[in-house]
């Protein structure tokens, strides 16, 4: 353990100085120093992905990322993925498909998905499988997959102009790919 130092970083669009032990995992600096509790503690060993944030646009597991290494870099957390007025296309898709159950892993899922879409605007199922290694005990995986596809479609449609503007469906369940409806 080393002495606390001022770690200066761009956090959710603002320059912040966090005075912490540089070895402290970024997760705890975010949660306990910066008060950003949307990023979750799941395993502490970088396996479950509940703590996923963006570091210079890349998805990283903040529970095993020393905050000292964030010096001078750009960090984005779930709190800045979108706003209430302008939610991220993934957040809109997540609401439309009512993805979360307990919700605890969903910040990490969304951040991992956002990093994927930034790099791969139209991911295939295999690309989603490779990129989203986050764990969800409630079993939201089929809806996470469907919501990523939906957000990708929405983003592409809006890029093509207002004529293709995406409309949210009134009914949330749109999982034709993942689980078919029954007339029974």
Q: Tell which positions 105-134 bind other proteins, by CB under 8 A.
A: 105-107, 110, 128-130, 132-134
The tokens of 69 are what? 């290494």
Minimum distance between the CB of residue 112 and other proteins, rounded to whole angstroms? Answer: 10
Minimum distance between the CB of residue 87 and other proteins, rounded to whole angstroms? Answer: 8
156 sits near other proteins (criterion: CB under 8 A): no
Choice between 164 and 179, CB closer to other proteins: 179
DSSP state of 66: B
Residues with Cβ within 8 Å of 179's Cβ and at least 6 positions away in sequence, in order, are: 142
Residues with Cβ within 8 Å of 63's Cβ and at least 6 positions away in sequence, in order, are: 25, 26, 27, 41, 42, 43, 44, 45, 46, 51
11 sits near other proteins (criterion: CB under 8 A): no
150 sits near other proteins (criterion: CB under 8 A): no
What is the sign, positive or negative, of the torsion defined by CA atoms of 67, 68, 69, 74? positive
Minimum distance between the CB of residue 53 and other proteins, rounded to whole angstroms? Answer: 11
61 sits near other proteins (criterion: CB under 8 A): no
Q: Which residues pair with 68 in a beta bridge?
A: none
The count of other CB atoms within 10 Å of the CB of residue 74 is 15
What is the sign, positive or negative, of the torsion defined by CA atoms of 125, 127, 130, 136? negative
Choice between 164 and 169, CB closer to other proteins: 169
Minimum distance between the CB of residue 159 and other proteins, rounded to whole angstroms? Answer: 22
Positions that interact with other proteins (CB under 8 A): 1, 21, 24-25, 28, 31-33, 35-45, 47-48, 50, 77-79, 81-82, 84, 87, 91, 94-95, 98-107, 110, 128-130, 132-145, 171-173, 178-180, 182, 184
């Amino acid at each position: 353990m080393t002495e606390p130092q001022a770690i200066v970083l761009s956090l959710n669009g603002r320059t912040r100085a966090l005075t912490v032990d540089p070895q402290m995992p970024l997760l705890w600096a975010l949660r306990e120093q910066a008060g950003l509790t949307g990023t979750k503690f799941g395993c502490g060993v970088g396996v479950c992905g509940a703590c996923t944030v963006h570091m210079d646009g890349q998805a990283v597991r903040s529970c095993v990322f020393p905050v000292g290494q964030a010096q001078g870099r750009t960090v984005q957390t779930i709190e800045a993925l979108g706003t209430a007025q302008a939610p991220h296309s993934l957040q809109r898709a997540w609401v439309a498909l009512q993805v979360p159950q307990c919700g605890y892993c969903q910040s990490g899922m969304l951040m991992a998905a956002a990093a994927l879409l930034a790099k791969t605007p139209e991911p295939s199922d295999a690309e989603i499988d490779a990129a989203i290694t986050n764990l969800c005990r409630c079993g939201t995986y089929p809806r996470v997959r469907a919501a990523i596809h939906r957000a990708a479609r929405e983003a592409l449609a809006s890029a093509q102009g207002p004529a293709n503007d995406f409309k949210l469906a009134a009914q949330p369940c749109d999982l034709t790919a993942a689980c078919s409806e029954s007339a029974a």
